[in-house]
Amino acid sequence: MSPKDLTVKRSLRTGKRISKACRRCRDQKIRCSGSHPCDQCSKRSSACQFDSTSQRVLVTRRYLDSLHERIASVQQRLSHHASSRLTSERREHSTSREMQSPEPVDSDQNQGLPPEHAPLKAPGIHGGREPKAPLTNPLAFHVTDWAQGPMGKPLFMGTSSTWAFGRRVLGMTHMRLTGLPLTPDPDKLLFDRHVYDAGWDGNKANTPSNMFDVSNLPTADFARYLINSVKFHCGHLFYLFEEESFMEQFAAFQQNPSEKSRSSPLWFCHYLLVLAFGKAFVVQSVRSRSPPGYDHFIQAMQCMPDFTFFDGDPIEMTQVLCCAALYLQCIYRRGPAYRMLGTALRWALEHGMYTEMHGLCLDEAYVQRCSLMWWTIYTLERRMSSLLGVPMGISEESISASFPAISQEIQGANVLEMQVMLCQILAKVDLTVYGSEGKLDSRYLSATQSVLRDIANVTVQLNASFDLYANGSMSGTSRISAHLHLLEHQCIILTTRPLLYIFLQSKLGQSDPALMEWLQSATVKALLHACVESAQQILRILSNLLEQGLLETFLPFDMDAAFISTIPLMMAATIDQSLLQDHSPWSQRAYTILEDMSTRGNICARLAQSELKQLDHELAQLSLKSNVPTVLATGLRGPGDDSGPMDIVTSGAPGGYSQSLELEFADSFRQHYELSPDQLMELANSLDLNSLTWPLPSMDDIPAHDL
């Protein structure tokens, strides 16, 4: 026997207690070695047989993921094959009926429709009903991830990106209406790095000779006012500067500005960024293509030290990077913001801020500040990554940092912890619903169920500490509570909106018509209603903030919330009237919110409003022109209902809703419509995943080239 064979045999014999024994050892109730043949059978020269059907095997996670990928791929091909076959059957059926009878084959609603758009009434397989297509997240397959930019360059559209989702829906609708791709017009649509005039191309050769010029800086009193405004708008959410040390250096700067700006370039850069934020919060102007304080931001970027060689306080360096990244996010330069924050993340990782930071050489105050800095980077990174639809910068398993005790003093009780928990849900949504889990029907819905349970658990704590109705109504909503609840509802929408995309895609004839049959499922309907209710709740919260004068104009979070909530409402009203009868009152409310931001100088809000109005208009045009294919399965109609195609539900032109609807809508803002944790948990637990699993057809139904 060769040394290799001896090694293999020895490894088989040295295992611990095995879970399955061969038939002979099991019958005689003696110890089995588990090898094949086992030691007992080898001694007696007996046949050694195992029950292969019950034998357990160990495989790697990579192998399981590979199998799931292959199944998802087969499901997609089968779905495409079934759709092609159904279309052929429709055409053949229509042709045969035309040859048999010269009379119309359907009601007046069907006249003039192409044969492939007529309702299918011929019996199919599986008990006289057409088979359902697999219910997977189409955004997880990276099929339509690229779009043309304003300058002709291809733009990547991430899976969970809100901007990309809106652009996909608008592009799909525009193609169905006009037959042409959407024109990338930066004057009407939002595009990264095409909103505000840059004023500087990043070339150091084009910087002023005196980058440390202090002649255009505000007076000391006005500067203190701007710093306090930054504390009010950002201090409860992010650790952007340490007030005590920052103000000490501010006092020294006032003594000799020219000398201090050069001797402390990092602090001077930090100071300019804070001033840029302060002016954006306080000064509102629509006369310029640049936001107020933009000149301070450009000067800060020009005099920012090169961190490759600069040796400074790691906490202040990460604060400077976070300030710059957040400002870039506000002016819709989200790619550069993501890269800037990536540098801050790498800097924090290099200095071990993501760990528990135990060590004799570490000062407790320094550890507390590092922990506070880490969770600020974490929340910004999670939100920016989700908005771009790109993978997270660090896995949850790698993080062991604890929450700092000083966070309650700086940010208030539980604000930091609650924001982190919601961002952890964001990360889970991106990893599962929009990741490999979303490519397979059973795993996609299982991931959705798991996320909803997590949201329900977090909502219990959220309502306990940050109740929107603490005063009995939303008339006195806290700005911090509103921010956290908006993030909670965005998590719900991100989790459930792929279902809306699936049905709108099918409704517009760009995917398998059999997908519409899933609307029969009570589980699917419940998920869609949860998406609609969360979108409506977001607009209620934003409307109350608008009435109180607390709506954020410069920070991007309120604008993103308005955008992310309005699109699902338009889609729901288009897909099925039972989901939402009319989206006009809600979309009008969103336009009012965005218009308020626009009148205060936010160009991003104006473009977001323009994009939403274009989508609203084109969906209404589709309804008026009856260009929508009839893809609703016959099983969705009542017995004997032969009324022909189901039309898109029209809500009229933008702004064309009745006064009674407006009054009813206004009254609804004074009522409680918050999804309770019990309702969310009940929804998650009621999901019947077995009923949502697509049955694989027999091998005879699979084309040979697809195997």
Confidence (pLDDT) at 539: 97
Confidence (pLDDT) at 482: 95
> Between 154 and 60, where is the model more confident?
154
Model pTM score:
0.78
The greatest distance separating any two alpha carbons of the chain, rounded to the nearest whole angstrom, comes to 99
Tens-place pLDDT, residues 254-279:
999 999 999 999 999 999 999 999 99
40 is a domain residue = yes
pLDDT, mean of residues 683-698: 67
pLDDT at 116 over 50: no
pLDDT at 6 over 50: no
Query: Strands (DSSP E) along 29-166, which ranges?
Result: 146-148, 154-156
pLDDT, mean of residues 93-117: 40
Beta bridge partners of 619: none
pLDDT, mean of residues 383-404: 94
Contacts of 638 (CB under 8 A, 6+ apart): none
Tens-place pLDDT, residues 326-374:
999 999 999 999 999 999 999 999 999 999 999 899 999 999 999 999 9
pLDDT, mean of residues 230-253: 95
pLDDT at 661 over 80: no
Confidence (pLDDT) at 627: 46
d(C-alpha 77, C-alpha 338), whole Å:
36
Q: Is 430 helix (H, G, I), strand (E, B) or coil?
A: helix
pLDDT, mean of residues 369-392: 96
pLDDT at 695 over 70: no
- Residue 68's pLDDT band (cuts 50, 70, 90): low
Q: Find the helix packing angle between 677-686 and 441-465, rounded to 10°.
A: 170
Confidence (pLDDT) at 65: 66
Q: For 102, which DSSP code?
A: S
Q: What's the domain range around 26? A: 19-48
pLDDT, mean of residues 650-659: 40
State the CB neighbour count (10 A cutoff) for residue 464. Answer: 10
Residues 455 and 488 sit within 8 Å (Cβ to Cβ)? yes
Is the bond into 37 cis (omega within 30 degrees of 0)?
yes
25 is a domain residue = yes
pLDDT at 633 over 70: no
Query: Which candidate, 418, 420, 421, 448, places its Cα nearest to that of 432?
Result: 448
pLDDT at 449 over 60: yes
SS3 content of the chain, % helix, strand, coil (to 5): 60, 0, 40
Confidence (pLDDT) at 624: 81
Confidence (pLDDT) at 187: 94
> Between 697 and 284, where is the model more confident?
284
> Between 67 and 317, where is the model more confident?
317
> Between 146 and 327, where is the model more confident?
327
290 is a domain residue = no
pLDDT, mean of residues 408-413: 54
Counting residues of the chain whose pLDDT is more than 90, the rounded percentage is 54
pLDDT, mean of residues 455-480: 84
Residue 634: both structure tokens together: 């016959």
Contacts of 131 (CB under 8 A, 6+ apart): 82, 124, 125, 514, 694, 695, 697
Which amino acid belongs to residue 516?
M
Counting residues of the chain whose pLDDT is more than 70, the rounded percentage is 74
CA distance between the termini of the chain: 42
> Residue 31 belongs to a domain with what CATH number?
4.10.240
State the CB neighbour count (10 A cutoff) for residue 497. Answer: 27
> Between 657 and 586, where is the model more confident?
586
436 is a domain residue = no
26 is a domain residue = yes
pLDDT, mean of residues 421-448: 85
Q: How many structural domains is the chain composed of?
A: 1
> Between 190 and 140, where is the model more confident?
190
Residue 321: both structure tokens together: 């990077």
Contacts of 292 (CB under 8 A, 6+ apart): 279, 280, 282, 283, 284, 285, 601
Confidence (pLDDT) at 289: 80
Confidence (pLDDT) at 436: 77
d(C-alpha 491, C-alpha 455), whole Å:
8
Computed over every residue of the chain, the mean pLDDT equals 81
pLDDT, mean of residues 622-647: 45
Tens-place pLDDT, residues 514-542:
888 888 888 899 999 999 999 999 999 99
pLDDT at 673 over 70: no
Contacts of 470 (CB under 8 A, 6+ apart): 476, 478, 481
28 is a domain residue = yes
pLDDT at 22 over 70: yes
Confidence (pLDDT) at 635: 35
> Between 134 and 552, where is the model more confident?
552
d(C-alpha 630, C-alpha 113), whole Å:
9
d(C-alpha 361, C-alpha 569), whole Å:
55
678 is a domain residue = no
pLDDT at 163 over 80: yes
Query: Which candidate, 220, 148, 121, places its Cα nearest to that of 630?
Result: 121
- Residue 3's pLDDT band (cuts 50, 70, 90): very low
150 is a domain residue = no
d(C-alpha 181, C-alpha 457), whole Å:
43
